[in-house]
């Protein structure tokens, strides 16, 4: 009967961490914070990414960083405790059991939240799981992830933000050179508008405007700084 409720801020935070992830990382892993409500619902209200390395055979978390972040968060929100962990991607992966085992030592019955940051088909697939032990008699055989109901309630403003996030998915932030290139392209487009405006003023198609003149001076200054 276990269920979970996740606040939109958590999803936005996870997507932001994914975009800012290290170049060599294929996904982001992190800790979920919140509380367990009286009816047993796991209320997920906050999160933070935890540096990790992984290969086909093993996954290693930066446990010291995780504990330092937890202490820092609880200084601000002492009522928020660990309720589970998250990973980006579609569904459970091979190394999930190892990470879940670590969080099982941090908190009883942690929730595993998966967020599809690729927004396949324009939809962000978000699911929650818990680990269920499979046993034969008194002998424990293995642990299996079982999906649980997940409530993602949003007010209208949050829904609009989430819809925009789905339609403008970005895999990585541009590096410094790429960012400079985009900035220069925009400045050059503005300078073309300046030339057109000046030509229109000269042939008396438009009246000169002091406010527009100062705007053009600002554009020229920005161009000189960037170049």
User: Whole-prediction pTM value?
Assistant: 0.68
Last residue of a domain, one of 123, 156, 189: 156
Are 139 and 185 in a shared domain? no
My answer on whether 138 and 185 are in the same domain is: no
In terms of domains, do 149 and 178 share one? no
Domain span holding position 189: 174-226
Q: pLDDT tens for residues 67-104?
A: 999 999 999 898 899 999 999 887 787 778 888 889 99
Gap between the terminal Cα atoms of the chain = 62
Q: Is 79 within the bounds of a domain? A: yes
pLDDT in tens, 27-79: 899 999 999 998 889 999 999 999 988 776 678 889 999 999 999 999 989 88
Query: Could you give the angle at which helices 176-202 and 210-226 cross, rounded to 10 degrees?
Result: 150
97 and 183 part of one domain = no
Question: Do 183 and 152 have their domain in common?
Answer: no
Name the domain count of the chain.
Answer: 2
Q: Under a CB-based contact definition with an 8 Å cutoff, are residues 51 and 91 in contact?
A: no
């Amino acid at each position: 009967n276990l269920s979970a409720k996740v606040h939109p801020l958590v999803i936005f935070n996870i997507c932001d961490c994914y975009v800012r992830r290290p170049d060599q990382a294929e996904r982001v892993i992190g800790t979920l914070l919140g509380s367990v409500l009286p009816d047993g619902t796991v209320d997920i209200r906050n999160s933070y990414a935890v540096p990790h390395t992984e290969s086909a055979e093993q996954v290693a978390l930066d446990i010291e960083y995780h504990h330092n972040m937890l202490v820092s968060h609880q200084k601000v929100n002492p009522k928020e405790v660990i309720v589970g962990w998250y990973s980006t991607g579609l569904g459970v992966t091979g190394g999930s059991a190892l990470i879940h085992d670590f969080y099982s030592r941090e908190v009883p019955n942690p929730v595993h939240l998966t967020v599809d940051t690729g927004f396949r088909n324009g939809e962000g697939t978000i699911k929650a799981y818990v680990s269920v032990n499979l046993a034969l008699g008194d002998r424990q055989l293995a642990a299996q992830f079982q999906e649980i109901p997940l409530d993602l309630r949003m007010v209208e403003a949050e829904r609009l933000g989430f819809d925009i996030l789905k339609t403008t998915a970005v895999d990585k932030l541009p590096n410094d050179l790429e960012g400079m290139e985009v900035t220069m392209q925009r400045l050059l487009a503005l300078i073309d508008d300046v030339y057109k405006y000046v030509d229109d003023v000269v042939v008396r198609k438009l009246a000169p405007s002091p406010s527009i003149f100062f705007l053009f001076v600002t554009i020229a200054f920005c161009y000189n700084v960037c170049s």
